[in-house]
Structure formats: structure tokens, C-alpha cells
Amino acid sequence: MKEINVKLIVVTVFVATFMAAIEGTIISTAMPTIVSSLNGLGIMNWIFSIYLLTSAVTVPIYGKLADLFGKKKIFIISTIIFVVGSTLCGFATSIEQMILFRAIQGLGAGGIYPTSMTIVADVFPYEKRAKIMGLLGTAWGIAGVAGPLVGGFFVDKLTWHWIFFINIPVGIATIVLIAIGLKEKVNVAKQQIDYWGALLFTSGLLCLLLALQFYGEDLNVMNAQAFSLLVASVVIFVIFYFVEKRAADPIVPFELFKNRTILVGNLIAFLISAYVMGIDVYIPMWMQGIRGHGATISGLILAPLSVAWFTGSFIAGRLLVTIGNKRTIGIASIVLLLGGLMLSGFGIGTPEWQFALNSAVLGLGFGMIFTTTTVNVQDAVPATMVGTATASITLFRTVGQAVGLAVFGMIFNSLLLHNMGNAADDAINASQMNQLISTHHLGNVAPALVGPLREILYQSLHFVYWSMLGFILISFALHFLLPSGLREPSQIKGSDPV
């Protein structure tokens, strides 16, 4: 590479990282208003799940394409796709359109962050790279705190459309900066891209998510449509396994999972990532649907989570050196268990400060457990395979978010339908519930129905919180399978918020 404007590169990757990071948090507090406007409470989890799915499976493909055609070109293309998807999301007029456009947005997001990291690795020498990575970690931290607040502000003061439109100027600025700042000479090397693996993995996961969605919409356990999709998912994943075993460079390297540390670490990351998404989606739903607050207050309730996350990450670094990885994950699991029990015990009149405190407790546990599992997985392989091992835990975290949303969505939808069906007042229906969850549309609900609707919503969310607790319990049980060990201070690495 030559003629590189280093300052512009730093600004560009920071802005790009921030744009991709904040997209995962800015939408959480706006979601109740979005699904209320688009009348899509029953399938709202797909707005998150499809974005996570398309971004996850395209990450390894973008990495190979960047080696083939150059980082700069792939970065610009993925950013354009992301901006186009964001623009379409802003103009969505139905929940189905929103889901489709979020898929497009995810296709772009899958290339932005990994390509940014590769550009940093190419531009900066090893001794300076850590500082740049730390700067990018700051972008995730700022996004984690600012995202819910900015999303709440847009919803309360402007409209929800602006949480997507804001990406247009930011994306264009990023493209201009990288075009000016980076001059790249591409050395084309032959790359084998696992297209079949990506296609099969996406198809199998889609079938699984759709099956859970249909089970949530129909309380009949023998739902033929859902059962057929579940069988199809199993068959596709079996084929995927054998295809990956023969692939030259698989997107899921199964050989890694012969190592118990990597297997258990990935499973724990999968389970806790699912829990994180339950918090991001269903606490704002509680604040706006049950407590009647606007989106800004929902953002304030979640803000302590991100702050405590980084505190937990630093604590984990100390504990890894003094008591080892197994005990550190055990302590983190206990912290999360306490936070989960606290959340599950909240009543319909629980004050907001207790939710904020609960967010801080959970954030502390998240920071500890994700830092420790990441270090464990990276430390369990030779230096030449650290990138592959890190990619595996990133994939498991992303898939965990998508599957968790589908499972919690299935539970939430089925309980909501059941409770509304048993309501004494025939006027209580899904349309009224869609109006309730947004302060912008609450005025459309008859005053006499507000109390009963909130009670139904409370009962459904309360059970979801208890079901989420099961993921922490399984994670705690799994940590006993980990080998014990102490790490040197120089080996401790942080973890960014999901």
C-alpha cells in the first residue's frame, strides 16, 4: 500500500465501526414504536433476527472477497449495501417490508466491521495496532451507551424513521473518507470461498427460526408447518456438517470443537448472547407497554448496562490472573443469575430505578463472561489459528442472539395469544395490544382496556424473563466442564458489547 493518509483511515474505521455498532443498540428502544406503527408485534423478533443472520453468514465471505478484490473496494461496496438497506428500512410501510430491508442492511453490515479490522491490520504496524483496536473498542462503548438514548430521542422528538435515515450521511461520509484516504495495490491471491457452507447454514437456520415463529403463532404442538420446517432444519444441518468436513476453508471449522475449551466457551457465549437480546428487546417493551414511558426513558434504563459491561471486562482481566478462567466464569454466572432472579421477580409496579440497577448488575456479568470466554477460546489454539477461533466465537454469539430471539419470541407470542383469547372483554385483541406498546398510539386505546391489556402484557413478559433464566442456569452448569488455569496479565484481552 502507498500514499495512505493515516489520519483519515483512523477516522474512517472509527466512524464505520460506530455506525455498525450503534445499529444494534439504537433500534432496541425504538422497536415498540416501530412494531406498533407497522402492526407487527407477533413477528417483531424477525427485525432483529434477520439482520443478525445475514450479517453473520456474510462475514467470512467478505473476508475472502477482500483478499481477492481489495479491502477498499469491498469496504465501499458493503457500506453502500448497508446505506441502501437503511434507507429502505426508513421508508418501510409494513412489517414484512421492514424484515426484508433489514436483511439487506445486514448483508452490508457483514462486511463493514471485519473489513475495517483488516484495513487496520494492513495499514498499522503491530506495535501501533493495539492502540487503534482500543480506539475502535471505544466506538463500541459509546454506541452501547448512546444508542438507546439516541434511538429514544429520535422516536420521541422526531419519528422512528430517523434511526435509519441517520445512516445515510454517516455512510456517505465514510465512503468519501476511505476513497480519499486509502490507496491500495491489490495482490490477487487464489481464495476458496465456502459458498455452499454459507448457503446451507443460512437455510438451516432460517428453517429453524421460522419453525419457532410458527409454533409461537399456533399453540398446537403438532403444527404441521412448523414441524416440517423443524425436520428440514435438521436435515440441512446434517448436510451442512458433511459439506463443512470436506470444505477447504469452512465457515464453521468443526475440527476446532474437538478442543473442550473452545466447544464449551462457544456454547456459553451462545447462551449468554441469547439472554442479552432478551434484555435488549423485552425491557423496552416493559417500560413503554406497561409503565407507559417514552422511548427516551427506555434508553436511560438500559444505559447502565453498557457502562457496567466495561467495568466487568476489567474485573475479569484481574480475576483471570488471580483465580483462573473457570472460577471467573463461575462468578460471572452467579452475578448474571442474581440479576436474572431480580428481573424475574419484578412486579407490574416495580419502580424504574430498580430496572436501572438490574441493568448494571447484568452488564457487570456480561462484561465478565464475554471477556473470559473470548480469552479462553483464543488461548486454546496456536497463534496461527487465533483469528479462526475468534471468528468461531463471534459466529456463535451472533447465532445465539438470533436463536434466543426466536425462542423468546415464540414463548412471548404464544402466551400473548393465549392470554388475549381468555380475556373477559372481547374488545381485547392483537390490534389493541399493538397500540398499547407505543406512547404515540396509546391514545387510540379505550381507557377501560389499558389496565387489562397491561396485565396481559405483564404476565407474558414475566414468563419470558423466567424462561430467559434457564439460559443462565445451563451456562453455569456448562462452566464446570472447563479446565482450570491461570493467565498472564499480558494475555488478557477485552470484549466489546454485543
Q: Is the pLDDT confidence value at 21 over 50?
A: yes
pLDDT, position 104: 92
Which of the four pLDDT bands, split at 50, 70 and 90, describes residue 144?
low
Assign 3-class secondary structure to the chain: CCCCCHHHHHHHHHHHHHHHHHHHHHHHHHHHHHHHHHCCHHHCHHHHHHHHHHHHHHHHHHHHHHHHHCHHHHHHHHHHHHHHHHHHHHCCCCHHHHHHHHHHHHHHHHHHHHHHHHHHHHHCCHHHHHHHHHHHHHHHHHHHHHHHHHHHHHHHHCCCCHHHHCHHHHHHHHHHHHHHHCCCCCCCCCCCCCHHHHHHHHHHHHHHHHHHHHHHHCCCCCCHHHHHHHHHHHHHHHHHHHHHHHCCCCCCCHHHHHCHHHHHHHHHHHHHHHHHHHHHHHHHHHHHHCCCCCHHHHHHHHHHHHHHHHHHHHHHHHHHHHCCHHHHHHHHHHHHHHHHHHHHCCCCCCCHHHHHHHHHHHHHHHHHHHHHHHHHHHHCCCHHHHHHHHHHHHHHHHHHHHHHHHHHHHHHHHHHHHHHHCCCCCCCCHHHHHHHCCCCCHHHCCHHHHHHHHHHHHHHHHHHHHHHHHHHHHHHHHHHHCCCCCCCHHHCCCCCCC
What is the reported pTM? 0.79
Which of the four pLDDT bands, split at 50, 70 and 90, describes residue 406?
confident
pLDDT, position 336: 93
The mean pLDDT value for 153-167 works out to 82
Q: Is the pLDDT confidence value at 472 over 70?
A: yes
The closest of 212, 171, 240 to 408, measured between CA atoms, is 212
pLDDT, position 317: 76
| Lowest-pLDDT choice from 1-5, 122-126, 402-406, 477-481 | 1-5
Highest mean predicted confidence (pLDDT) among 199-203, 349-353, 381-385, 466-470: 466-470
Average pLDDT of the chain? 78
pLDDT, position 132: 66
pLDDT, position 471: 92
pLDDT digits over 59-75, tens only? 777 777 776 777 788 88
| Lowest-pLDDT choice from 36-40, 241-245, 312-316, 323-327 | 36-40
pLDDT digits over 475-494, tens only? 999 988 887 655 544 444 44
Cβ–Cβ < 8 Å for 420, 430: yes
The mean pLDDT value for 240-264 works out to 81
pLDDT, position 192: 67
pLDDT digits over 430-443, tens only? 777 777 766 666 66
Higher pLDDT, 207 or 63: 207
Q: Is the pLDDT confidence value at 422 over 90?
A: no
pLDDT, position 314: 79
Higher pLDDT, 491 or 252: 252
pLDDT, position 38: 80
Higher pLDDT, 250 or 223: 250
